[in-house]
Homo-oligomer: A and B are copies of this chain.
């Protein structure tokens, strides 16, 4: 990770909720410089167990949000793409992150002092409500993930995650930014079975797969598989 520059919001690629509030409520004072950091592929953006010191906002690149389990086995809960709050779930509760976020390609992240954010939402609940809403959505998605992980079998789980990826990339054709092992971690499946299932789906002409390039050929069937289990 390398801190690249202090950036004025005006110059930033992406305007976040926080920027908007800063403008409204603080006028000229809004022109604070925020720290921007650049993360390379595979870099850890925030680490389970470490202190929460900043609010972070994903400005560019894809990242994965995962929990580190036993025996170095991780479970990825969801992917993040801009605009997204990073570390939102640990924002209000604890001084420590209860999960980790890692870059799956080069990422740019805006760091905002936690104290500043806290001051801000004292003056402005629209912001707080915004954060809360994003928070709530995360939770809803996690709950449905729990069911999926526990009650669907691996075929259904892989199908589900392929659909998820397709939605993320907003296309039937996409390049996996993730290794087979990482795909497996999204569905809590071993690397080997992940490979097997992807080939299986390809053989059945449900998807076309070439290295990390995927094309979904039969979305309705994929949906059916994901629903049945």
Contact B146 A89 (CB under 8 A): no
A151 vs B66: C-alpha distance in the bound complex, in angstroms?
14
User: Number of copies of this chain in the oligomer?
Assistant: 2
Q: Give every chain B residue within 8 A of A70 (Cβ-Cβ).
A: 147, 151-152, 229
CB-CB under 8 A for A150 and B149, given A70-B229, A92-B135, A125-B122: yes
B-facing residues in A116-156 (Cβ within 8 Å): 121-122, 125, 128-129, 132-133, 135-140, 142-147, 149-152
Contact A146 B67 (CB under 8 A): yes
Q: Give every chain B residue within 8 A of A73 (Cβ-Cβ).
A: 151
Q: Give every chain B residue within 8 A of A139 (Cβ-Cβ).
A: 89, 93, 98, 138-139, 142
Select which of B71, B94, B143, B146 is within 8 A of A136 by beta carbon.
B94
Select which of B75, B129, B140, B151 is within 8 A of A98 by beta carbon.
B140
The prevalent SS among residues of A at the interface is helix
Contact A142 B142 (CB under 8 A): yes
Q: Give every chain B residue within 8 A of A90 (Cβ-Cβ).
A: 136, 140
Q: Which A residues have a C-beta under 8 Å from some C-beta of B?
A: 67, 69-71, 73, 75, 77, 89-94, 98-99, 121-122, 125, 128-129, 132-133, 135-140, 142-147, 149-152, 188, 229
Apart from A67-B146, A93-B133, what 8 extra A-B contacts exist at CB < 8 Å? A75-B150, A91-B136, A93-B132, A93-B137, A94-B137, A145-B146, A146-B146, A149-B149
